[in-house]
Amino acid sequence: MEDYHKPDQQTLQALKDTANRLRISSIKATTAAGSGHPTSCCSAAEIMSVLFFHTMRYKVQDPRNASNDRFVLSKGHAAPILYSVWAEAGFLQEAELLNLRKIDSVLEGHPVPRQAFTDVATGSLGQGLGAACGMAYTGKFFDRASYRVYCLLGDGELSEGSVWEAMAFAGFYKLDNLVAIFDINRLGQSDPAPLQHHVEIYQKRCEAFGWHAIIVDGHSVEELCKAFGQAKHQPTAIIAKTFKGKGISGVEDKESWHGKPLPKNMAEQVIQEIDDRIQNKKKLSPALPEEDAPIVNIRNIKMPSPPTYKVGEKWATRKAYGVALAKLGHANDRVIALDGDTKNSTFSELFKKEHPNRYIECYIAEQNMVSIAVGCATRDRTIAFASTFATFFTRAFDQIRMAAISDSNINLCGSHCGVSIGEDGPSQMGLEDLCMFRAIPNSTVFYPSDAVATEKAVEISANTKGICFIRTSRPENPVIYNNNEDFHIGQAKVILKSKDDQVTVIGAGVTLHEALTAAEQLRKEKIYIRVIDPFTIKPLDKKTILESARATKGRIITVEDHYHEGGIGEAVCAAVVGEPGVTVTRLAVSHVPRSGKPAELLRMFGIDKDAIMQAVRAAVSKSRNAE
């Protein structure tokens, strides 16, 4: 960035005037809506004015241009000032601001990507900076472009650990194209923020995380211009001392005004007072970006060659994931991998080995890893695959939930699912992950049962919109599919079938292989079962399951290495609810497990071949007795 040139007095006055117009627009919008956060907007008015009308480079009528500077409003409740900025710039109609929070308006209570100028949904506090880090990493290392990334945070959200995960990430990778602005307005929602106006403590904290930290008067446009003009070989934190409700007489720096619009009479008076401070109605125009972001195509990605597995060979699906991902990396140079220091367990290290410049080590910070993936995937710049143990995604559930609200296309792989991991014990066992990912809107949940299915799941998820989750296992199990087997979302595979089948058994991963072993032994007793591999748990192949149930006298047994709640059994029950004559018996992990050998644990929790055989015999004898 060029050396700082102090703006002339005319520009400084225009920035002050712009800040006051943004205040007025935010007050008008929230008063019209009867709800919202005008005081949180007013503390950030000068910051937003300087950012959008002096510092940032972007095309107003093309907010998602790949070369534009990026902006993330981490304090999402200040959305009205973001909308006011885009109205001031001419992208939105001023009148539209008065439709804030209405059901037929795009201007929701917090930013969402339905708005062309919003890359990631915010409002669950503490998440914006992680996404901004992903954007900045992409700009610096993948796009190698000049665009910069700005993130505005409130002081209340600085109590969130996820903010400091992001601070550590940016400091470690020296993201010198990233600027975080802390709006230190002293007051939280129900109480003052813990550090109130002790800006020097924030500065020390930022410096300790490897950031260049500058304290400014957040209401001085001149100080802000100067701070934004400083370039260092590290990320920059601008610690802006501000006052909540700045410019609103009787409300400024007062408690108990958070999230409260001004009553109409009061708003009119305040607007008049602020308007009297405006010297010039002239509007400023932002500078245009340097158009140096490369054109990227991430559509229709195909594996360079089919799988090369042999039927009967033993492979862990977690390893097949690594092999598949490394292979997919050759198909498109925008495929990237992220991991949380588990790459030698999830096998994402195989990707790193072949594509070292496209692997991001996020260390043990899973919440931030998900946010980084979301940031990297914005504006269709990359296809991101992030992996860790399935159970560790539970701590990032809020980030995953917000990723869905952000319409993000990210792929998450959770390894080490279930009790089948063995001796490491319950803290390492993914037993809630299916439940969690099934609950996410527009998610696709893959549960491949062999190496071939895993490779297909990786390829399909790269081309699938929304949040994709691939559940992989630690034990090595035989390959059951030919390399040319075709897989589709929502299409199950009937692995074993005969006209004499008496019970349908549905399993996935290790339990599918237990079901196949059980079927072999039951055949000796002249009991035949139909075995189904669902491939995706969401969406579930209802049609195949119902056809099989009808062919086996309505008898279904589900068996899964997961807790009862929210897993395969409940998904199947939901699929067959209301179908006459269909009964579902569910075998699953019933309580908190313990350490032991995988086979011992499968037996202890009644999800091994013996438990399946017992359940099948019970179902068959029950119906024989009924006859």
Question: Hey, which bits of 226-339 come out as E strands?
Answer: 236-241, 314-316, 335-339
| DSSP symbols for 152-168 | EEESGGGGSHHHHHHHH
Distances from the Cα of 626 to the Cαs of 505, 552, 582, in angstroms? Answer: 21, 15, 15
Cα separation of 442 and 374, whole Å? Answer: 15
| DSSP symbols for 182-200 | EEE-SB-SSSB-TTTT-HH
Which residue, 445, 450, 426, 425, is CA-closest to 435? 445
Cα separation of 90 and 286, whole Å? Answer: 11
Q: For CA atoms 63, 65, 69, 70, give the dihedral sign.
A: positive
Cα separation of 604 and 221, whole Å? Answer: 67
Catalytic member of 366, 514, 560, 570: 366
Cα separation of 48 and 25, whole Å? Answer: 13
Q: For CA atoms 399, 401, 402, 408, give the dihedral sign.
A: positive
Cα separation of 515 and 498, whole Å? Answer: 15
For residue 583, what are the contacts with CB-CB under 8 A and spacing of at least 6?
554, 555, 556, 619
- Ramachandran class of 363: left when φ > 0, alpha when ψ lies in -120 to 50, beta otherwise: left
Cα separation of 461 and 468, whole Å? Answer: 6
| Residue 444, strand partner residues | 468
Residue 121 near residue 111, CB atoms below 8 Å: yes
Q: For residue 35, what is the DSSP state?
A: -
Q: Which residue has the tokens 């006055």?
A: 13
Asked about 366 being catalytic, the answer comes back as yes
Residue 442 one-letter amino acid: N
Residue 584 near residue 576, CB atoms below 8 Å: yes
Which residue, 384, 373, 342, 399, is CA-closest to 161? 399
H/E stretch holding 215 reads strand 212-217
Q: Which residue has the tokens 């290392």?
A: 141
54-78 burial string, b = 16+ CB within 10 Å, else e? bbbebebeebbbbbbbbbbbbbbbb
Residue 149 near residue 136, CB atoms below 8 Å: yes
Q: Which residues are catalytic?
A: 366
